[in-house]
Homo-oligomer: A and B are copies of this chain.
Amino acid sequence: MKTQSYRAIRDAIASHDLTPAEAIRSSHDAIAMADGHIHAFTALADEAMLERDAAATGPLAGIAIGMKDIIDTAELPTSYGSEIYNGHRPAADASICAMARSTGAHIAGKTVTAEFAFFHPGPTVNPHDHAHTPGGSSSGSAAAVAAGMVPLAIGTQTGGSVIRPASFCGVAGYKPSFRLIPTVGVKTFSWTLDTLGLFAVSIEDVAAAATDLTGRPLDRPRSNEPLRIGIWDDGNRREVSDDMVAAVESIARIAERDGHTVITVRETEPMVAADLCHALLQEYEGALSLAHELRSAPDRLSEKLRSALEAASEIEPSEYDSARRTARRARLAARDLFGEVDLVLSPAATGAAPAGLASTGSAEHNRLWTLLGCPAATFRANGADSLPLGVQLTARFGEDAMLLAVASRLETALHDQ
């Protein structure tokens, strides 16, 4: 598949080899070609929006963005992946949309999300094999970038909803430190977990887009100062395929060749405890966030979501408060972990995208890092002859720039092999 590179488009526009109007039109042409098969979009910008945005200025002028349909847009329907909100038009854009517009971007359309960004899937297929899931819940955002329809897409992660679909679709995914990008106007599932993230074809692209969008220096190349990279040893608690184990090992070898020290770091008890609390935190908060929907339209929720929310409505506040303390203890333990190593290397998912569209796969490799608020990034780490899979790098809260710089070097070194 011919993909669209964020930097290539941005730089071509800067050097006047391309106009924003041409770039936007080209993305829409690609959507028109591919989306009948991929089903990544739920709504598209109309001709008037294209023309208006073709005249926009700013670092993202000419960039067509796929915006996950869990994110409010005032001029495009926003249905949160739920039939309850069919045709819903929010009163205001989410902050991320306002940030995109104010930096000149064009919101090309809304991308498919699992129902309320939980697990019940939408119609999107994996561009690499239409019989396989693209992952979720940011299914459409990952697939839209992978299928070459847009150079940039926005998703959210509460468990593993950015890193996992990026891995399954063979693109770069970046989940920033918690609250680096405001979630105002994003339909809340869990206020302590919901995190906005970005998809692009490479880490360099995702870092450039994050820089241009947020005004923070997240794309600075880094002197090749040797770092300590820890391979995550979870005592085989999590499912992982042989090819994923091989991918992690291959990236570790590249890191060593690049001069970094690679050691093994054991998952400690506070981390295990927090990992096991994730579902309780997510679902307790989900039951409060979606209390209106559960009360007023239970029959219009998927069975899986309804039963999860109903069960979570029975959780005692004291259990939830105890889980919050467990999470807090793990955040303190993360300081020790990221004193020992600069980055943690682990699988981005259990393996390549599973066959079938009924499940979006497991978030077990991602949810701990979401709970810790640590930045995470993934890039493709296997060959083009099989379904893609990615490795996951994570770093200390706030070390987003370092994480992206190292991930970018490793990704480049892998491709140069």
> Among the listed B88, B98, B318, which residue makes an inter-chain contact with A295, where contact means beta carbons less than 8 Å apart?
B98
Please, which residues of chain B bring their CB within 8 A of the CB of A316? 215
Please, which residues of chain B bring their CB within 8 A of the CB of A102? 291, 295
Q: Judge if A289 is at the interface, Cβ distance under 8 Å.
A: yes
Q: Are B292 and A74 in contact (CB under 8 A)?
A: yes
Q: Judge if A10 is at the interface, Cβ distance under 8 Å.
A: no
Q: In the assembled complex, how far is the CB of residue A297 from the closest CB belonging to chain B, in whole angstroms? A: 10
Q: In the assembled complex, how far is the CB of residue A296 from the closest CB belonging to chain B, in whole angstroms? A: 8
Please, which residues of chain B bring their CB within 8 A of the CB of A97? 292
Q: Judge if A411 is at the interface, Cβ distance under 8 Å.
A: no
Q: Are B85 and A91 in contact (CB under 8 A)?
A: yes
Q: Judge if A184 is at the interface, Cβ distance under 8 Å.
A: yes
A182-208 interface bits toward B, Cβ cutoff 8 Å, 1 = contact, 0 = none: 111100100110000000000000000
Knowing A93-B292, A215-B316, A291-B93 are in contact, say whether A182-B285 is a contact too (CB < 8 A).
yes
Q: Judge if A335 is at the interface, Cβ distance under 8 Å.
A: no
Write 24 A-B pairs (CB below 8 A) sorted by A numbering: A74-B292, A74-B296, A85-B91, A88-B91, A92-B293, A93-B291, A93-B292, A95-B288, A95-B289, A98-B288, A98-B292, A99-B288, A102-B295, A179-B191, A179-B192, A182-B191, A182-B285, A182-B288, A184-B188, A185-B292, A214-B317, A215-B317, A216-B317, A216-B321
A96's nearest neighbour on chain B, judged by CB, is B288
Q: How far apart sit A274 and B192, CA to CA, in the bound complex (Å)? A: 23
Q: Judge if A101 is at the interface, Cβ distance under 8 Å.
A: yes
Give the copy number. 2
Q: In the assembled complex, how far is the CB of residue A295 from the closest CB belonging to chain B, in whole angstroms? A: 6
Supplied contacts A182-B289, A184-B191, 5 more A-B pairs, CB within 8 Å:
A102-B295, A182-B288, A183-B191, A184-B289, A215-B316
Interface residues of A in 148-188 (CB under 8 A from B): 179, 182-185, 188
Interface residues of A in 301-348 (CB under 8 A from B): 316-318, 321
Interface residues of A in 257-291 (CB under 8 A from B): 285, 288-289, 291
Q: In the assembled complex, how far is the CB of residue A129 from the closest CB belonging to chain B, in whole angstroms? A: 37
Q: In the assembled complex, how far is the CB of residue A336 from the closest CB belonging to chain B, in whole angstroms? A: 17
Please, which residues of chain B bring their CB within 8 A of the CB of A185? 292
Interface centre among A85, A90, A292, A295 (most CB of B within 10 A): A292
Please, which residues of chain B bring their CB within 8 A of the CB of A183? 191
Please, which residues of chain B bring their CB within 8 A of the CB of A92? 292-293
Q: How far apart sit A188 and B184, CA to CA, in the bound complex (Å)? A: 7
Sorted from nearest, which 5 A-B pairs have the closest CB atoms?
A98-B291, A92-B292, A93-B292, A184-B188, A184-B289
Please, which residues of chain B bring their CB within 8 A of the CB of A318? 216
Q: How far apart sit A16 and B106, CA to CA, in the bound complex (Å)? A: 61
Q: Are A288 and B184 in contact (CB under 8 A)?
A: yes
Q: How far apart sit A102 and B295, CA to CA, in the bound complex (Å)? A: 9
Q: In the assembled complex, how far is the CB of residue A285 from the closest CB belonging to chain B, in whole angstroms? A: 7
Q: In the assembled complex, how far is the CB of residue A312 from the closest CB belonging to chain B, in whole angstroms? A: 13
Please, which residues of chain B bring their CB within 8 A of the CB of A192? 179
Please, which residues of chain B bring their CB within 8 A of the CB of A74? 292, 296
Q: How far apart sit A356 and B288, CA to CA, in the bound complex (Å)? A: 40
Q: How far apart sit A377 and B192, CA to CA, in the bound complex (Å)? A: 25
Interface residues of A in 200-251 (CB under 8 A from B): 214-216
Please, which residues of chain B bring their CB within 8 A of the CB of A184? 188, 191, 288-289
Q: Are B95 and A291 in contact (CB under 8 A)?
A: yes
Please, which residues of chain B bring their CB within 8 A of the CB of A85? 91
Interface residues of A in 52-85 (CB under 8 A from B): 74, 85
> Among the listed B88, B215, B291, which residue makes an inter-chain contact with A99, where contact means beta carbons less than 8 Å apart?
B291
